Chains A and B, each alone.
Chain A
Amino acid sequence: MLSFFRFLARHTAYLFLLLYCSISVLLMQLQRKETLEAIRSRGLSVNASVAEQMSAVSDLFSLKQYNEHLLLQNARLFSTVVHQGQAIRDSRNLNAMVAKDSAHAYNRFIVARVVDRRFSHTDNTIIINAGWRRGVEKDMAVLTPDGLVGRVTKVTENYAKVMPVINKSFKVSVVSDSSSTYGVLSWNGGNETLAHMENVPASSRLKAGEHLATSDHSTFAVRGIPVGKIVRVSGNKLFSDIDVRLYIDYSSLTYVLVSPEKASPEKLEIMYNEEVKPKIPQKPFGR
């Protein structure tokens, strides 16, 4: 018996281990029992309340960061509001353009948005977000219901470069509505609303106030696209000096239409190529 107690005294750690492990396993098994469940619930409520207090304390330290986060969020929301407002305005403009364009077969035109513009005294260009993927080709006319904007000079997959009327290299054949006087419209730089009509003989009956539109002589635009209004006619011995106020306000140009109709290739061929061989259908030989 004595040796048994000695053994126990020597191995109390094992006994404690056995005892505590048994209690622990018992507690694990009895976790669903009401009493233990109540103890666990009490423990969890203590845990939750302490965690809440600690969270409140840590919130105090994180207020600055939280404010910065709110400011950033506010900035993001404000940016969204601004962009959406812009989109609504664009949509209104587009709707107005569509409504105004009842005379034109709107559906045939390709609608594009001006995504970039480079305006200077000499070389103005516009970039629109429609390229060959949407059917835009080089030398197509670009317009709005108000009038002619320019011509397509370069096309990529999704974008096109437009040479506007207010470019020194731009020229278009125009005709006046009342006197049917033909001439060439060009821009010499300076005021972006004023262009000039050239090659008009001094003997013409052209008067201020007449409206100009593209003519059949144009190499890229179909006839009848409004261009501008004559504001001043002054002449010398041979040719008249004519100022034209353009209909397009380039400073607020947002949406444009690209006209898929181009001048007839046959007409261009015969105009620029002197050695055009007529393609006469030949009668078949034999019976």
Chain B
Amino acid sequence: MLKKYPFYTVSLIVLAIVQQFVVSKLVIFGATPDILAVFIAFTSVMLGQRTGTNYGFAAGLFLGFLSGNIGLSALVGTVEGFLAGYYHVPEESYATTVKKRRMFYFASATALVAGNLLFALLINPMAVPLYFRIPSLLVIGTLSSMVLTVLMYQLVLKKLQKD
């Protein structure tokens, strides 16, 4: 179990860099997919709410250092990790793969909705009114990230979950 922590730490740092320099360029009506939130949710589901919250805060802090919004990114990461932790599947449980997958999808969706909502409320990247900004970021940001969630799970995270 302890061996997993360095892996998750390195993964979160790498994904924060990828998020900042690659994924953030995919702007769809002002919203961008959030690959880091997906992995924070995965971490919370796998390692628990407390660890997920810690990782969320650290990853958000690092992403904020790169993007310039240290406080906001840290807050968003923390909330995402905490909320996704409610879907934690303990390692000793005998949950089926289907259940694990479902929990991960729920965790991702919850984290993404909360993260995008916070982001829309506290920052105005599109310089548009709140009544347009919130639905736009919530819908487009969450949907595009959920597509990434499914892709990431099917390609990579499924194998990690089995290990």
User: Which of A's residues lie within 8 Å of B, judged by CB?
Assistant: 12-13, 16-17, 20-21, 23-31, 36, 39-40, 42-44, 46-47, 50-51, 54
B136 within 8 A of A: no
B54 within 8 A of A: yes
Residues of A within 8 A of B78 (CB): 16-17, 20-21, 24
Partner of A13, one of B21, B50, B65, B67: B50
B70 within 8 A of A: yes
The A/B interface has a contact count, at CB < 8 Å, of 76
Partner of A40, one of B49, B56, B68: B68
Write out, one digit per residue, whether chain B residues 42-73 have a CB within 8 A of any chain A CB (1) or not (0). 00000011100110110010001111101110
The closest CB in chain A to the CB of B63 belongs to A43
Q: A12 → chain B, closest Cβ, in Å?
A: 5
B interface, how many residues as a size bin?
A: 20 to 34
Q: A12-B50, A13-B50, A25-B75 are in contact. Are A20 and B66 (CB under 8 A)?
A: no
A43 to B54, CA, bound (A): 21
Residues of A within 8 A of B66 (CB): 43, 46-47
B74 within 8 A of A: yes
Q: A17-B82, A24-B72, A28-B72 are in contact. List 15 more A-B contacts (CB 8 A).
A: A12-B50, A13-B53, A16-B53, A16-B78, A21-B79, A23-B74, A24-B57, A24-B75, A25-B71, A31-B70, A39-B70, A40-B70, A42-B65, A43-B66, A50-B17
- Indicate the member of B17, B57, B85 with the most A CB atoms within 10 Å: B57
Interface of A is mostly: helix
Q: Are A24 and B53 neighbours in the complex by a CB distance under 8 Å?
A: no
Q: B74 → chain A, closest Cβ, in Å?
A: 4
Q: B54 → chain A, closest Cβ, in Å?
A: 6
**Which residues in window 24-48 of B have CB below 8 A to A?**
48
Residues of A within 8 A of B54 (CB): 16, 20
Residues of B within 8 A of A30 (CB): 71
Q: A16-B54, A24-B78 are in contact. Are A29 and B20 (CB under 8 A)?
A: no
Q: A48 → chain B, closest Cβ, in Å?
A: 10
User: Which of B's residues lie within 8 Å of A, judged by CB?
Assistant: 17, 20-21, 48-50, 53-54, 56-57, 60, 64-68, 70-72, 74-75, 78-79, 82, 85, 122
Selected A-B contacts with CB under 8 Å, 7 pairs: A13-B48, A21-B75, A43-B65, A47-B21, A47-B67, A47-B68, A54-B21
Q: Are B75 and A28 neighbours in the complex by a CB distance under 8 Å?
A: yes
Residues of A within 8 A of B64 (CB): 27, 43
- Indicate the member of A21, A24, A31, A50 with the most B CB atoms within 10 Å: A24
Q: A45 → chain B, closest Cβ, in Å?
A: 11
The closest CB in chain B to the CB of A54 belongs to B21
Q: Are A24 and B74 neighbours in the complex by a CB distance under 8 Å?
A: yes
A20 to B60, CA, bound (A): 11
Q: A265 → chain B, closest Cβ, in Å?
A: 69
Residues of B within 8 A of A27 (CB): 64, 70-71, 74
Partner of A43, one of B49, B50, B56, B70: B70
A30 to B70, CA, bound (A): 10
Q: A50 → chain B, closest Cβ, in Å?
A: 6
A51 to B22, CA, bound (A): 9
Q: Are A17 and B53 neighbours in the complex by a CB distance under 8 Å?
A: yes
A25 to B70, CA, bound (A): 10
Partner of B71, one of A24, A46, A50, A51: A24
The closest CB in chain A to the CB of B74 belongs to A24
